[in-house]
Amino acid sequence: MGPTVLIVDDALFMRMMIRDILTKDGFEIVGEAENGVEAVKKYAELNPDLVTMDIVMPEMDGIEAVRNIIKNDPGAKILMCSAMGQQPMVVEALEAGAKDFIIKPFQPAKVLEAVRKALRGEE
């Protein structure tokens, strides 16, 4: 079994895309969440090796979710997935403890590279 991943994105389409890219490369998707509240809950439940985290989501945004997850598990490996116009928020997310970010839309090769880098613990 490959590394376990929790996918967080409010868009069903994006979750499917990321799932598709990662499973083809041997990762195991252990869960999906569509907002920050669910993400925090599922992280605690599933304890995945890596989280892909959208930023703009209803209920609780991705930055707040990163803060909450890191508070409970400072070693959590979280990769932010943001759209082009959201750079100021990316900086906030990195400060909150995310390892890296990728810009939507995704090229599979870039996603895999960033995921592997985050798993190795490189910043």
Contact positions vs other proteins (CB under 8 A): 10-14, 16-17, 20, 56-58, 83-89, 104-107
Among residues 10 and 49, whose Cβ is nearest to other proteins?
10
CA–CA gap between residue 30 and residue 53 (Å, rounded): 14
Among residues 104 and 117, whose Cβ is nearest to other proteins?
104
Among residues 1 and 109, whose Cβ is nearest to other proteins?
109
Closest CB 47 distance from other proteins, rounded Å = 28
CA–CA gap between residue 95 and residue 5 (Å, rounded): 22
Closest CB 56 distance from other proteins, rounded Å = 6
